[in-house]
Chain A
């Protein structure tokens, strides 16, 4: 299933579904709320690691011409109850039909790479339609930033980033472990050299501060699962 998701074309429309936010968002899953286009391949890493799962309504995953019938849900599908799914299904069907019409109108099924203008037009008309048939109750102006923040917080949870506790993944931890071990090895060789060769001034031991510091820095980061540089520069890297 995962391999087939990766061949889906780059950009697809995502339903803006916020009729009932209590149902759309929980600790266990997140029904993507968005009016903009997003590339599925951005999620390839997470999917191949089995950290994010797609739940596709009505088994329309393989039908590339019917992507508008797809609802993306990130999270654990076994925790998504049938009640929640059935409650969004009817609304989704209506929205999907209209979006299909828009696709035909703007010939999106024929043109593989629509321009941003056309994408904006489709998103705008789709949003107006959702309001018109009362599929969205929240009438605030759509804010991509807010939507993105919600999604990002969920993704943080899914990929294992925890602020103040863990901001690097397995591969990054390994790098820091290797850095620590190599640095300590250099420090030990240096210390033994100074210790066993009496002609070397003992104060050359100060030079060992650098590999020792690198060694501790690497090992602390490995054990704490946390990169200090990332922490200072507001970044995370869960590779």
Chain B
């Protein structure tokens, strides 16, 4: 205990910060991709719908 001396005062990360744990990073990464994928899909469908409306309904 205490053999490993530290050179500066440790500052714990609390309300915001970086994640050190690989399993958490992986889970976050998957969720981020899901949100980006859903955004892409929803954008494509909505834009296509609008374009069809512009071309054929007006």
Stretch of A85-93, A101-109, A200-208 on the interface side: A200-208
A137 to B21, CA, bound (A): 27
Chain B residues whose CB sits within 8 angstroms of the CB of A164 once the complex forms: 24, 27-28, 30-31
Q: Is the CB of A239 within 8 A of B18?
A: no
A93 to B2, CA, bound (A): 20
Chain A residues whose CB sits within 8 angstroms of the CB of B4 once the complex forms: 141-144
A130 interface residue per 8 A CB criterion: yes
Q: How far is the CB of A207 from chain B (nearest CB, A)?
A: 10
Q: Is the CB of B51 within 8 A of A203?
A: yes
Stretch of A21-29, A30-38, A53-61, A63-71 on the interface side: A30-38
Q: List 14 A-B contacts (CB under 8 A).
A: A124-B5, A130-B1, A139-B1, A142-B1, A144-B4, A153-B21, A163-B23, A163-B25, A165-B31, A196-B58, A203-B51, A209-B43, A228-B31, A231-B28
Q: Is the CB of A127 within 8 A of B28?
A: no
Which of B14, B19, B39, B42 is A45 in contact with, Cβ under 8 Å?
A: B14
Once A36-B9, A165-B31 are accepted as A-B contacts, the answer to whether A140 and B1 lie under 8 Å apart by CB is: yes
Q: How far is the CB of A235 from chain B (nearest CB, A)?
A: 6
Which of A153, A205, A229, A231 is B50 in contact with, Cβ under 8 Å?
A: A205
A163 to B29, CA, bound (A): 9
Which of B9, B30, B38, B57 is A216 in contact with, Cβ under 8 Å?
A: B38
